[in-house]
A and B are shown apart, each in its own frame.
Chain A
Amino acid sequence: MVNKILIAENLTREYGSGRALVRAVDNVSMTVLRGQLVLIMGPSGSGKTTLLSMLGGLLRPTEGKIMISDTEITKLDESVLPSIRARKVGFIFQGFNLLDALTVEENILFPTQLVAGGINAKRARANELIERLDLSSRRKSLPRTLSGGEKQRVAIARALINSPPLILADEPTGNLDSHNGQEVMMILQNIVNDEECTVIMVTHDPRVEDISDRILWLEDGALRNRKTELHSWVKDPVCGMRVDEWTAEVFMEYRGKRYVFCSYRCQEKFKIGPTKYITS
C-alpha cells in the first residue's frame, strides 16, 4: 500500500441530467505507484482535465473513490479538502498561473503558509529549488518579466515546495516552444527520479512518451486500449490540410458527422457555409 500513491476506483463524472446527461469521465480505475511518471493522453474533449481535476480533489466525482497516499479524499468534507491539496498535491498548469503581484521567490514560498512551520521552515527548500531550476538571477523578479520557460519553472518549484507525494500537471508544455518544452520535461523527469514523487501529466506532446513510465489513453471519458497507430490523419474540409483527429483542438459536429479543422479560421469559414465544403 505504501508504494501506491494514488488509487482511483470506478470514477465517473456526469454533467446535466435526463437527455442532456453527459458523462465526461466514465468508470475509470487506475493505480499509480510512487516515483512513476504517468501520462494521460487522448483526443480533445475526452475528459483528461476532468479526470485530473478529480484526482487533485478539485472536483467531486459523481461516483467512485480516490485515495491519495492512504487518504480517501472522496469521503472528505469540503472544508478539509483544501488542506489535503496543500500537503499532498502539487499542481502545474498550462497557463502557469503564477500570482502576478508576487516575486518569483514569494510565488514559490506562497503555499508554505498552508503547512506546519510556514515560510521560515521552507526557506532552505525554496533556495534549493531556485538553484536547481536555475532561477537564482530571477529571484526578485515579477512574473510579467519572465519568459514562458521561466514561468513554468517557477510553477514547478511552487508545486514542489511542500514536497507533496503527487504532482498533477495539465499540459505543462502547451504554452512553451519546443526548446523550453523539452527543458520542462527533463525537469519533471528528474523530479520523479530525485524526489521520488509521482507525476501524472495530461499532455498532447508525443515527445514525452519516451520518458514516461505509463500512458493512459482516455477516449470518450473512458480508459481504452491505445490504438497502435500513432496518428489518425483526416482532411480539414476547408483548406484540405492533413490533421490528426486524435489530438485536434478544433472540431465540430454537423448533421451527425464530426469535422476536424486545422484552425479556428477554417472552422469559422465552415460555419458560414458548410454545404460548400461537404462533398457527398
Chain B
Amino acid sequence: MFRWTIKSLVSEPLNFFLTSLVVGIALLLVIFFEAVFHGESQKIIAYPQNINPDVWVMQRGVFNMHMATSFIWDWKKDRVEEVEGVADVTPILYLNSIVEAGSRHWFSFVVGLKQGNKRAGPWSMATGSSHPGKGEAIIPELLGMIANVMLGDTIRIANKTFTIVGFSKDTFSMANSIAFISYADLRDIMSLSGSDSYLLVDAEPGVDPSLLAQRIKENVSKVNALTSAEFIKNDRELALQMGVELIGIMTIVGTCLAVSLVIFMLYMFMEKRRRDIAILKALGFGKFAIISSAIIQAFCITMTGLVTAVILMYTADFLTDAFYPQVSMLITPESLMRVGLVSLLIAVFASLIPICQTMKVDPLLAFQR
C-alpha cells in the first residue's frame, strides 16, 4: 500500500511538481515576510553592531539608539574619562532625520562626528573620504545609486545643504540609512551647545565592560551606561517589537493562504484518484489503510512544498542581493523551524479534506463504464 501511495503520488510528475510548487509558493509567503523583516531589523542595528565600543553612555532613561533621543552635558565626557578602567571616550551627536538626495527622501540616522575621531565613523567605505568636514556628508552607496547622485553632488539634511564626499557600505536598508556629517554641522542643525548624544567608551585591556558600565553609572550623575551587547540587544528588540504585529499578520495571512492552497491542491489531487480509491475499496482495503494513504500523500505534498519554499527562498535571497540590494533578507534557522512546524500543522489540517473525500468514495464507482 505504501508503494502505491508513493508511486501514485509521483506517477504524474508534472502534476506533482505543480502541486508542490503552488504549496511551496504559499509557504514561501510565510518565510519571505519574516526574512525581510529580520533582514531589515538587522540593518537597523548596523551602526551599534559595527561601531561596537565596550560601553555606551547616554542620558538616564535612554536604553538604545533606534527612535531614541539622548542628551548629556559635554563636561560629563571628562567625568567618564576619569573613571577607573576607561581608555578612551568618543562623543557623537545623533538625530533621526530625512536625507533628501536627488528626488528621493530617505529616513536616516544622522551621526555627527568630531574632527579626527577614529572609531565612530563609517566602518566600510565604497569610495571617497570617511571623515566629513564642514558642509560635507557621507551617505550610503546604495542611496547614492537609488537617488542617482555622485561624489561632489549635493544633498539636503534638515533643510541644510551638504556636499557628498564619500559613499559608505552596509549602511542602508529599506527602512532607514546612516548618514555622517561633521559634529559642528549637526550641532547647528540641532541648535545645541555643550551637549553630546552618546559617549562611546573603550575600556582598558582586561577590564570587564559590565563592571565598567556599573562604575560609570555610580560615578557620573544622571547617565545610563550599558555594555555594547546590552545596547544592541535593546535596539534589536525594539526594532522587532515594531514589526511583531506586522510579522504576526503576515504569518497568519501566509498560513491561511498556504492552508487554502494546500487544501485546494490536495482536493484536486484526490479528485483525480477517486476511481483508484473505489478500486481499493472494492478489492477489500479498509478505512484505516486508505486514510493512512491520504495522510501520507498530504504529508509528502506539504513537505515537498516546504523544501520547494526553502529553495525558492534562498533563490529569492540570491536574486535580491544581485538585483535589489536595498532589500535586506535574513533567513534564520528559527524561522525555518517555525515554518516547518506550521507546515506540519498545515499537512495535518489539510489531510482532513482528502480523508473526507476518500470516505465519500463509493466502491461501486469501480463498476462505472
Q: Spell out A's residues near B (CB within 8 Å).
A: 49, 52-53, 56, 58-59, 79, 82-87, 89, 91, 93-95, 97, 99-102, 106, 110-111, 113-114, 158, 170-171, 174-175
Are the CB atoms of A58 and B364 closer together than 8 Å?
yes
Q: How far is the CA of A100 from the CA of B279 in the complex (A)?
A: 11
Q: How far is the CA of A100 from the CA of B277 in the complex (A)?
A: 12
User: What chain B residues lie within 8 Å of A102 (beta carbons)?
Assistant: 3-4, 7
Q: How far is the CA of A94 from the CA of B368 in the complex (A)?
A: 8
Cβ contact of B284, chosen from A49, A52, A85, A174, cutoff 8 A: A85
Are the CB atoms of B367 and A49 closer together than 8 Å?
yes
Are the CB atoms of A85 and B8 closer together than 8 Å?
no
User: Known interface pairs A93-B367, A99-B276, A101-B8. Does A79 touch B286 (Cβ–Cβ under 8 Å)?
Assistant: yes
A91-B366, A101-B7, A158-B283 are known; give 8 further A-B pairs, CB within 8 A.
A58-B281, A86-B283, A86-B284, A87-B284, A94-B369, A95-B366, A97-B282, A100-B8
User: What chain B residues lie within 8 Å of A82 (beta carbons)?
Assistant: 281, 284-286
19 residue pairs A–B, Cβ–Cβ below 8 Å? A79-B287, A82-B284, A82-B286, A83-B284, A86-B285, A87-B284, A91-B283, A95-B369, A97-B282, A97-B366, A99-B4, A99-B276, A100-B8, A100-B11, A101-B8, A106-B4, A113-B1, A114-B283, A171-B369
User: What chain A residues lie within 8 Å of B276 (beta carbons)?
Assistant: 99-100
User: What chain A residues lie within 8 Å of B281 (beta carbons)?
Assistant: 58, 82
Are the CB atoms of B284 and A111 closer together than 8 Å?
yes
Are the CB atoms of B4 and A85 closer together than 8 Å?
no
User: What chain A residues lie within 8 Å of B8 (beta carbons)?
Assistant: 99-101
Q: Spell out B's residues near A (CB within 8 Å).
A: 1, 3-4, 7-8, 11, 275-276, 279, 281-287, 363-364, 366-369
Q: How far is the CA of A97 from the CA of B369 in the complex (A)?
A: 10
User: What chain B residues lie within 8 Å of A56 (beta carbons)?
Assistant: 282
User: What chain B residues lie within 8 Å of A100 (beta carbons)?
Assistant: 8, 11, 276
Are the CB atoms of B283 and A111 closer together than 8 Å?
yes
User: What chain B residues lie within 8 Å of A58 (beta carbons)?
Assistant: 281-282, 363-364
Are the CB atoms of A110 and B4 closer together than 8 Å?
yes
User: Known interface pairs A79-B287, A86-B284. Does A101 touch B11 (Cβ–Cβ under 8 Å)?
Assistant: yes
CB distance from A44 to the nearest CB of B (A): 11
CB distance from B270 to the nearest CB of A (A): 14
Are the CB atoms of A174 and B285 closer together than 8 Å?
no
Q: How far is the CA of A63 from the CA of B363 in the complex (A)?
A: 20
User: What chain B residues lie within 8 Å of A171 (beta carbons)?
Assistant: 369
CB distance from A160 to the nearest CB of B (A): 13
Q: How far is the CA of A94 from the CA of B367 in the complex (A)?
A: 7
Cβ contact of A106, chosen from B3, B279, B363, cutoff 8 A: B3
Are the CB atoms of B284 and A170 closer together than 8 Å?
no
User: What chain B residues lie within 8 Å of A53 (beta carbons)?
Assistant: 364, 367
Nearest to A103 among chain B residues (CB) is B7
User: Known interface pairs A79-B287, A114-B284. Does A95 touch B4 (Cβ–Cβ under 8 Å)?
Assistant: no
Q: How far is the CA of A176 from the CA of B216 in the complex (A)?
A: 96
Nearest to A100 among chain B residues (CB) is B11
Q: How far is the CA of A82 from the CA of B284 in the complex (A)?
A: 4
Nearest to A49 among chain B residues (CB) is B367
Q: How far is the CA of A58 from the CA of B283 in the complex (A)?
A: 10
Q: How far is the CA of A96 from the CA of B282 in the complex (A)?
A: 13
User: What chain A residues lie within 8 Å of B11 (beta carbons)?
Assistant: 100-101
User: What chain B residues lie within 8 Å of A49 (beta carbons)?
Assistant: 367
Are the CB atoms of B366 and A174 closer together than 8 Å?
no
Nearest to B286 among chain A residues (CB) is A82
Q: How far is the CA of A170 from the CA of B364 in the complex (A)?
A: 12
CB distance from B361 to the nearest CB of A (A): 12
The 7 closest A-B pairs by CB, nearest first: A86-B284, A101-B11, A85-B284, A101-B7, A101-B8, A82-B286, A82-B284
Q: How far is the CA of A171 from the CA of B285 in the complex (A)?
A: 23
Q: Which of B4, B7, B286, B367 has the most CB of A within 10 A?
A: B367
Are the CB atoms of A93 and B366 closer together than 8 Å?
yes
Nearest to A144 among chain B residues (CB) is B11
User: Known interface pairs A79-B286, A101-B8, A101-B11. Does A59 touch B364 (Cβ–Cβ under 8 Å)?
Assistant: yes
Q: How far is the CA of A278 from the CA of B55 in the complex (A)?
A: 104
Q: How far is the CA of A158 from the CA of B3 in the complex (A)?
A: 17
Are the CB atoms of B369 and A85 closer together than 8 Å?
no
Nearest to A170 among chain B residues (CB) is B367
CB distance from A147 to the nearest CB of B (A): 18
Are the CB atoms of B282 and A91 closer together than 8 Å?
yes
Are the CB atoms of A101 and B284 closer together than 8 Å?
no
User: What chain A residues lie within 8 Å of B282 (beta carbons)?
Assistant: 56, 58, 85, 91, 97
CB distance from B42 to the nearest CB of A (A): 47
User: What chain B residues lie within 8 Å of A106 (beta carbons)?
Assistant: 3-4
User: What chain B residues lie within 8 Å of A84 (beta carbons)?
Assistant: 284
User: What chain A residues lie within 8 Å of B368 (beta carbons)?
Assistant: 95
User: What chain B residues lie within 8 Å of A89 (beta carbons)?
Assistant: 284
CB distance from A250 to the nearest CB of B (A): 13
Q: How far is the CA of A83 from the CA of B368 in the complex (A)?
A: 23
